[in-house]
Amino acid sequence: MAKLQKPINAIVVLSELSHIFCCGLPALFSFLSLLSGLGVSALMPSSFETLHHFMHEWEVPMLMVSGFILVVGWVLHKISKNMDCVSDGCAHPPCGPVKKKSNKVLVFATLLYLGNLVFYTTFHSDLSLF
C-alpha cells in the first residue's frame, strides 16, 4: 500500500488543479463579463474576451472531463480515507489532518464545478433561461 500512496496523492492533486482550467478561468471570465455588462468595469481586456470566446468552444468537453476527474478525485479520496496508516506499515505522522484538508479542497472543487454547471445551463446551453 505504501507504494500506491505517492501516485494516489499525485493524482488527487492533479485532479484538483484541473478545476482551475475548467471552472476557475470560466468563472473569472464570466464575472469580468458581468461586471463589464453592468458598467462596473469600463471594458474587459481584449485578450480576456478572445480567450473567453475560445473557451466557449471547449466548454462542454472541459465540463465532461472535469466531472470525470472530480469523480476520480472523490473515489481516490475515499480509498485513501479507508487506508489505515498504522496497519499498512507507513512510517510517518498520522494522515488524518491531511485527509481532512484534501476533503475540504474536494468539497470546494465540487461546489465550484456545480456552480459552473448551473451557470452554463442558465446562460450558455440550449436550455438557457436567459
Q: Tens digit of pLDDT for each residue in 99-113?
A: 777 788 888 888 888
Structural domain includes residue 32: yes
Count: domains in the chain: 2
Q: Does residue 50 sit in the same domain as residue 82?
A: no
Domain of residue 42: give its range.
23-57
Minimal CA–CA distance to 23: which of 31, 33, 12, 34? 31
Q: Does residue 31 sit in the same domain as residue 72?
A: no
Q: Does residue 65 sit in the same domain as residue 100?
A: yes
pLDDT at 91: 60
Here the cell at position 23 is 471552472
Q: Does residue 96 sit in the same domain as residue 118?
A: yes
Place of cell 472543487: 109
45: left (phi over 0), alpha (psi -120 to 50) or beta: beta
- Predicted structure pTM score: 0.59
Q: Tens digit of pLDDT for each residue in 26-40?
A: 677 667 766 766 665
Residues 44 and 36: beta-carbon distance below 8 Å: yes
Q: What one-character-per-residue DSSP string does 70-97 give?
A: HHHHHHHHHHHHH--TTTTT--SS-SHH
Structural domain includes residue 49: yes
